[in-house]
Amino acid sequence: MVDEHLRVKDRKNVFAIGDITNIPEMKQGYIAEMHANVAMKNIKMMMSGGKKKKMLTYKPGSEMAIVSLGRKDSLAQFPFATVIGCLTGLIKSKDLFVGKTRKTRGLDPKRVQD
């Protein structure tokens, strides 16, 4: 169980992210990454001596899911519609977000071996 700052219940300096949390939302990688960003900023704030009032609060967003159906097609479920085909395939199927993830971590998005 976590509080609104993603701290484990009854613990001041222990955080939990991803599937292990009790947050009522889909358990997906992009959501765990959002958890990680909030937890990281809160940990940095605590390490610099900041006050609890300045801690970020995690708020679940609208849910969506994208399932790759090969290199060009996918199925996407958004809060307002479900879409299938090559247009949604452009979102994920090209490289399954590997390039975006690598870029976010300061790596060359095109290079696959590091």
> What DSSP assignment string belongs to the chain?
-B-TTSBBTT-SS-B--GGGS--SS---HHHHHHHHHHHHHHHHHHHTT--GGGS---------EEEE-SSS-EEEE-SS-EEEEHHHHHHHTTTTTHHHHHHHTTS-SS----
> What is the spatial distance between Cα 113 and Cα 104, in angstroms, rounded to a whole number?
16
Encoded amino acid at 53, one letter: K
pLDDT band at 37 (very low <50, low <70, confident <90, very high): very high
- pLDDT at residue 113 tops 70: no
Q: Which residues on neighbouring strands pair with residue 66, listed in sequence order?
A: 76
- The reported pTM is 0.71
% the chain with pLDDT above 70: 96
